[in-house]
Amino acid sequence: MKFRLKDFLSRYRMATSHNPLGVPFLTEGVSALILHFNIGAIQSLMIKNDPEFLALGYTKTMMGFLFFQPNPKSIAMIGLGGGTLAK
């Protein structure tokens, strides 16, 4: 599927017309799936041919605890976001 700005804006307007805070919506490009809550920010990004790759900086930062505790016995996750870390 080729990305077209016109289609993206149309889906954005439909998704946010009932809720000014934004409603989650997906944009699909040739190589990635992107979850948005508003037009100005990306919530999650998944590379199609490498779904476990942490593509966004904040997800890499959130996994920084592994430097201090490389083999945790358990992890508490509060909230799921786009599910990037849960994978």
At position 4, the amino acid (one-letter code) is: R
Would 50 be classed as within a structural domain? yes
Element (H, E) at 77: none
Residue 43 falls within a domain, yes or no? yes
Answer yes or no: is 53 within a domain: yes
Q: Residue 1 pLDDT > 60, yes or no?
A: no
Please state, in angstroms and as integers, the Cα–Cα distance from residue 55 to each residue in 31, 34, 43, 48, 60, following that order. Answer: 12, 11, 11, 11, 8
* Number of domains making up the chain: 1
Inside any domain, residue 38: yes
Residue 79 lies in a domain: no
The confidence score (pLDDT) of residue 68 equals 95
DSSP bridge partners of 25: 36
Looking at the chain, the number of H-run helices and the number of E-run strands are 2, 3
Q: Does residue 84 belong to any structural domain of this protein? A: no
The range of the structural domain enclosing residue 39 comes to 5-67
Would you state the pLDDT for residue 48? 94
Domain membership of residue 81 (yes or no) is no
Does residue 74 lie within any of the structural domains?
no
Tell me whether strands 41-47 and 32-38 are parallel, antiparallel or unpaired. Answer: antiparallel
- Categorize the per-residue pLDDT at 81 as very low, low, confident or very high, splitting at 50, 70 and 90: confident
Over residues 15-59, the pLDDT tens digits come to 666 666 667 888 888 999 998 877 778 889 999 999 999 999 999
